Amino acid sequence: MNLTSWGNYPLIENKAHPFTQVKDLEDILAHHEDLIPYGNGRSYGDSALSKHIIQVKPHNLFLDFNETTGQLHVQAGILLSEVLEVFVPRGWFLKITPGTKLITVGGAIASDVHGKNHHNAGCFSECVAFFNLMLPSGDIVTCSHTENTELFKATCGGMGLTGVILDASISLKRINSRYIKQTTIKTKNLKETFAAFERYQSEPYSVAWIDCLAKGKGLGKCLLMVGDFQADGDLNYHPKSNLNIPFNFPGFVLSKLTVKLFNWLYYGKVFKKISQQQVDIDTFFYPLDAIGHWNRIYGKKGFTQYQIILPKETSYEGLEAILSTISKSAKGSFLAVLKLYGKANNNYLSFPIEGYSLALDFKIEKGLFELLDQLDQRVIKYGGRIYLAKDARVSQAVFEQGYPQAETFRALRRQYQMHEKFNSLQSTRLGL
């Protein structure tokens, strides 16, 4: 059975090589090329696809925890969901978490993931004290902000192209509840949306669902959700049981009409301009994880997520142009997410810069890639970039305009001969 990405696109014949012991991994590296580490298969595009895939997920032991400092040492195959199940009842939560808990710690580092609190907490690499990395030679090096720093900056956001992360020490944060006090702000257009983000930027967590099919005066209308942990002492956390999508939906299920209807209903469910409610961790941080195999909604041809970020000074004008183009195309998504980001870090290929990000899911269909090519040009025009963890098709030229440290990353790959051992479909396409 071939392993795929979460978007089920593209498809490639591959051979999977699981490992639990370091000596097994050494043997894999010695006998194969065109390898790429693969966690839980939640990367959307082709960043974890190659002829030979190293399955890191079986390498999944908890190693140590400091109850005083919140420092957790785990093997790279541990899922974030497993961390939550063990430590939320003990009063600890992830400092940085993306919109799914079903990824490995190794994958979180390789993608340098971010979440609803990037504007004040940064990327996942900010909570990483150190990790141990196996290089193509089989040597194991410890990388941190102060030790082997070039390897640290290349690996965090490096999409698995520097080696295999074996284990990592990450910082957890103290919490005193499994509940979030959520405030929802309903806006009528993009101007109100930006004003709301700025007004509530002191809130620890924020994210907006945006109606990407809205036009005219309603362009950019959204539901902005902000929040913080309650302090009620209730830590009785139990993951929710999942609904499950048992098969791939027919292509006609997601159409302009159904997406428009969903957006109308979702936006209309909130009656007040500002409302408050109490929600649990899974509802606030991981709403889609409650639906097993939700990627099957997009049909057997799969889908791609298009996530871009623009600098703050060009975000309004750029997003107005991008949303207008999407709305006119009638290929919009019912999953459209807008977030405010803080300052960029120094990692070579990390995605965030200070500004606003837009993420949308598109089913693979005729005319889609031509639309995305148009959007790429608008992203470059306004000084933005595209998130590699979601990408399956961007050109090398567009990538290089968005990532000025790409050549530094390539040079490090050559220095350690990583390009002779670790490659993915994405790295080949981007010339990395």
Which of 211-220, 228-237, 341-350, 404-413 has the weakest average pLDDT?
A: 211-220
Q: Tell whether 287 is covered by a domain.
A: yes
Q: Tell whether 193 is covered by a domain.
A: yes
pLDDT band at 242 (very low <50, low <70, confident <90, very high): confident
Tally of domains within the chain: 1
**Cα separation, 286 vs 113, whole angstroms:** 14
The pLDDT value recorded for residue 259 is 85
Q: Tell whether 407 is covered by a domain.
A: no
**Cα separation, 63 vs 73, whole angstroms:** 5
Q: Provide the phi-psi class of 184: left if phi over 0, else alpha when psi is between -120 and 50, else beta.
A: beta
**Cα separation, 150 vs 114, whole angstroms:** 21
Q: Tell whether 172 is covered by a domain.
A: no
Q: Tell whether 247 is covered by a domain.
A: yes
CATH code where residue 211 lies: 3.30.70.2520
**Cα separation, 254 vs 270, whole angstroms:** 23
The pLDDT value recorded for residue 205 is 98
Question: Which DSSP helix (H) or strand (E) runs through 425?
Answer: helix 425-429
Q: Tell whether 382 is covered by a domain.
A: yes
Strands (E), 218-353: 222-229, 243-244, 274-280, 291-292, 303-311, 336-341
**Cα separation, 71 vs 223, whole angstroms:** 35
The pLDDT value recorded for residue 263 is 87
Q: Tell whether 44 is covered by a domain.
A: no
Q: Is the pLDDT of residue 333 over 90?
A: no
What pTM, to 2 d.p., does this model score? 0.97
What is the average pLDDT across 65-71?
Answer: 97
What is the average pLDDT across 256-265?
Answer: 86
Domain hosting 187: range is 179-401
Q: Tell whether 95 is covered by a domain.
A: no
